[in-house]
Structure 1
Amino acid sequence: MTIKTGLNKMSWYTVSIIISCRLKGYDQGVFPVYENFTLFEADSSKQAYEKAKKYAEEYVAIDDNLRLNGKPAYWKFEGIRKIIEIRDHLSDELDVDLPHNGVEVSYSYMEVNSEQELMKLANGDAVVIKYIDAADDWGEK
């Protein structure tokens, strides 16, 4: 979605940043992974990627005395999974700047194997899913 500033037209992007929690000097069987959906204003998806990468690298460099199961740990930037340009056709009609209430900032497509699993997912319970990403237009995959 374009910001109506009258000067440069910029878009907002939701960037999916993947970070993990890693142990310092210990073997690790489970890797906690976070997918952080972060907003960036940019001229293109490529510029949003570059901004997000710089942000993520600075984010994980902060030493916050992280511990995992009582052992020293650190955050590691693993990559950018997807970039989505925020679009809202209603904003064009009403001349509303983004972001605002009701704007879709990201989406995911996944599949489960039963209606019972679907209900568990909708309730926030743990389930096994097949996560399917759409093709990205920013050319990094």
Structure 2
Amino acid sequence: MLWFGAHIVMRVFYKDGDQDNCLVMENVILISANDDEEAEQKAETIGRSLEGDSEGTFTWKNRPAYWGFVGVRKLVEIRNSKSSNDEVDDASEISYSILDIESVELLRKFMEGEEITLKVVE
């Protein structure tokens, strides 16, 4: 069994109208899988499970909103050379980032690994 860090990208969508920017959060989730294809499938399932609006209570900047799954930006195989056994749980979040991206086109470039300028909100 292999371990992967799956970079799952979620986006805030406002329910009450247009929005110019793409506020996204990149979660790094720990995945156990036999290969990268299985890890990708598991990451997509986890990403889709994170979608929602907390039963209608989620807001961002005082506007009703919801989290939408954008995709898996990358998978990184994780190795722990200092441990004789792996003491982690499948799907444990190991990091996250909140990013403000100015447009959907720049979000597409970000997802494809192209260089863009963005704002880290954290």
- TM-score clears 0.5: yes
User: Do the aligned partners of 1:12 and 1:98 also contact (CA within 8 Å) in 2?
Assistant: no
Matched, 1:76 2:64: no
Question: Which among 22, 25, 28 is matched to residue 31 of structure 1?
Answer: 22
1:101-135 residue CA offsets vs partner (Å, 9 max, x unmatched): xxxx89xxxxxxxxxxxxxxxxxxxxxxxx895xx
Q: Which has the higher contact order (CA 8 A, sep 6+)?
A: 2
Question: Which residue type is aligned with residue 32 of structure 2?
Answer: E
Which structure carries more strand by proportion?
2
Compute the TM-score of the two structures, normalised by the length of structure 2: 0.65
Aligned to 1:6: none
CA-CA distance at 1:25 after TM superposition: 3.4
What CA distance in whole angstroms lies between the structure 2 residues aligned with 1:37 and 1:57?
Answer: 14
Aligned-pair Cα RMSD in Å: 2.5
Distance verdict in 2 for CA 1:62–1:25, change over 3 Å:
closer
Distance verdict in 2 for CA 1:84–1:73, change over 3 Å:
same
1:82-115 residue CA offsets vs partner (Å, 9 max, x unmatched): 0011123444xxxx11257xxxx89xxxxxxxxx
Pairs within 5 Å for 1:61-100: 61=52, 63-64=54-55, 65-91=57-83, 96-99=84-87
Unaligned runs of 5+ in 1: 1-9, 107-130, 134-141
Question: Which residue type is aligned with residue 56 of structure 1?
Answer: G
Question: Which residue type is aligned with residue 63 of structure 2?
Answer: K
User: Do the aligned partners of 2:53 and 2:65 also contact (CA within 8 Å) in 1?
Assistant: no
Aligned identity (percent) is 29
Structure 1 residue runs of 4 or more that deviate by more than 6 Å after TM superposition: none
Distance verdict in 2 for CA 1:62–1:23, change over 3 Å:
closer
Unaligned runs of 5+ in 2: 89-93, 96-109, 114-122
Query: Is the partner of 2:67 in helix, strand or coil?
Result: strand
Asked which structure has the greater CA Rg, the reply is: 1
Compute the TM-score of the two structures, normalised by the length of structure 1: 0.57
Query: Is the partner of 1:32 in helix, strand or coil?
Result: strand
